[in-house]
Amino acid sequence: MSYDLAVWEGPWPTDEAEGGAVYERLCDKYMEDEEVAPTPRVLAYATALAERWADLTGVETSRWGPMIDSVSGPMIYLTIPYGRSKELSAEAARLAAEHGLVCYDPQWGHLRPADEEHEGVGPSTGHKPV
């Protein structure tokens, strides 16, 4: 069992419904067919994430890390072991915000801000979406 997250480059969605629509559109475009080379920002995120997960788990990772299921263009899809999901997903969301990326939980249809204190706050705007 795993907990999945999608992270992508683009503007912070105005609400969770828009986040879900963007997620679906990006999956259809970048995850269904041939993989596209990652954008520089997504590549930097994936590299930082693999390094951070190695620190958190004590396990050396490959370039992408064992939990990074796929990366294509402006999007990366993460598969996190359920037993570590709370800690690792929080760190994935924090790093996404640090890199100016959107983090989305496709299981629950929720945007994942950098921390719970700022639930629903977009990292690029600093204010609650309308």
The answer to whether position 122 is within a domain reads: no
The answer to whether position 126 is within a domain reads: no
The answer to whether position 50 is within a domain reads: yes
The answer to whether position 121 is within a domain reads: no
pLDDT of residue 107: 92
Domain that holds residue 65: 2-116
Q: In a structure prediction context, what are the per-residue pLDDT tens digits for the chain, which is 130 residues long?
A: 788 999 999 999 999 999 999 999 999 999 887 778 889 999 899 888 888 877 666 665 544 455 566 889 999 998 887 887 888 889 899 999 999 999 999 999 999 986 554 343 333 333 333 2
Please give the structure tokens belonging to residue 62.
Answer: 């490959």
Model-wide pTM > 0.95? no
Do residues 45 and 30 lie in contact, with contact meaning Cβ atoms separated by under 8 Å? no
Q: What is the 8-class DSSP label of residue 106?
A: T
What is the number of structural domains in the chain?
Answer: 1
pLDDT of residue 115: 58
* CA–CA distance, 13 with 85 (Å, rounded to integer): 23
